[in-house]
Amino acid sequence: MIKVSGLRKAYGSVVALDGVDLHVRKGEIFGVLGQSGAGKSTLLRCVNLLERPTGGTVTVGGRDLTALGEGELRRARQGIGMIHQHFALLSSRTVAGNVAFPLEIMGMPRDRRAKRVEELLELVGLAGKAGAHPAQLSGGQKQRVGIARALAGEPSVLLSDEATSALDPGTTQSILALLKRLNRELGLTILLITHEMDVIKAICDSAAIMSEGRIQEAGPIPELLATPGSRLTDELFPLPPAEPGSVTITFTGSYSGRADEPVVSQVVRKFDVDVNILGGALEDVAGVSAGRLRVRLTGEESDAALGYLRDRGLLVEVASR
């Protein structure tokens, strides 16, 4: 749905994006995680060409946006929704007026506009707030207005620029739940950027980690979890530095070794080994339960035990001695 290839953006001698490739599939929620200054905001703003890239191409829904003229680009943007960290609502307009704004830009006649605005406010749970001004709303309500506005033109793609970063944790969860619902009900493809791991954990199907203007790793989250040395896994399950000889076991629900399967006790029963647990973490990620365990195995049959764990489909990494 969104394909970014070889994207470069430089401001003078400062390189913000250094050859970024990204593929967001239709109907998925794709999260780009990174510290501030990693280039993720520039990346998002290059997707709808708010920033003109220095090099590379951006394709949304099969159209190469970088090749479009100004008028065509404006029409293409009407099919790409965007929500913002600080909501970016017009303070001079009511809630209904804000949601109607993109419809005015599209040239929808007034009577149809009013009906559509009503539907949209219903969709985001703000039916009673049509006449309120943004200043009278809470942060969560403002972002709901932002979402309704972004969906006005029935976009196939929604770009989210740190949409929950200015919200408290409870409100963040409700906005994320709304995004997930819209993703499921409308088949909306969502590309979001965030510096919060919790956002990735809560709603993303795929993720990319970005730093210094490059994508460090990207892909469906279960695949990333199954990749040795994954930075996403390290950030999801922070464990103390691995001592030489210690064993790190990563398990996800999509593998035969399910998180709730008692693998450790099985190993102890089947093999002549002792297991010493050094650390561990368990999380629900992308709708599946996943976890990581750091152990030390001692005993004659250690290697056989590790082989058994690998056969169960677990990712087993042994820190080199």
Partner 1 sequence: MTWSDMAPLLWEATGQTAQMVLWSTLFTVLFGLPLGVALVGADRDGLFPAPIARRILGLVVNVGRSLPFIVLMIAVIPVTRLITGTTIGTGAAAVPLTIGAVPFFARLVETALREVGRDVVQAAQAMGASRVTIVAKVLLPEALPGLIAALTVTVVTLISYSAMAGVIGGGGLGDLAVRYGYQRFETALMIVTVVVLVVLVQAVQSIGDAVSRRLTRR
* Contact set with partner 1 (CB under 8 A): 48, 50, 73-78, 80, 82, 84, 86, 88-93, 101-102, 104-106, 133-135, 149, 153, 159
Residue 159 CB, shortest distance to partner 1, in Å, is 8
Distances (CA, A) of 135 to 4, 91, 140, 147, 270: 37, 7, 12, 17, 65
Residue 36 CB, shortest distance to partner 1, in Å, is 16
The span from the CA of 204 to the CA of 32, in Å, is 9
User: Is the CB of residue 54 less than 8 Å from the CB of residue 213?
Assistant: no
The span from the CA of 224 to the CA of 136, in Å, is 43
Nearer to partner 1, 73 or 268 (CB): 73
Nearer to partner 1, 50 or 277 (CB): 50
- Residue 11 amino acid letter: Y
The span from the CA of 262 to the CA of 100, in Å, is 55
The DSSP line for 32-79 is EEE-TTSSHHHHHHHHTTSS--SEEEEEETTEEGGG--HHHHHHHHTT
Residue 63 CB, shortest distance to partner 1, in Å, is 14
Residue 295's region, left for phi above 0, alpha for psi from -120 to 50, else beta, is: beta
The span from the CA of 137 to the CA of 306, in Å, is 56
The span from the CA of 243 to the CA of 319, in Å, is 7
Nearer to partner 1, 147 or 249 (CB): 147
The span from the CA of 75 to the CA of 94, in Å, is 25
Residue 78 CB, shortest distance to partner 1, in Å, is 4
Q: What tokens appear for 90 in the block? A: 């017009």
Strand-pairing partners, residue 4, are: 22, 58
Nearer to partner 1, 182 or 285 (CB): 182
Nearer to partner 1, 89 or 309 (CB): 89
Residue 82 CB, shortest distance to partner 1, in Å, is 4
Nearer to partner 1, 11 or 177 (CB): 11
Residue 261 CB, shortest distance to partner 1, in Å, is 47
Task: Write down the H helix ranges in 136-168.
Answer: 139-151
Nearer to partner 1, 73 or 264 (CB): 73
Residue 48 CB, shortest distance to partner 1, in Å, is 6
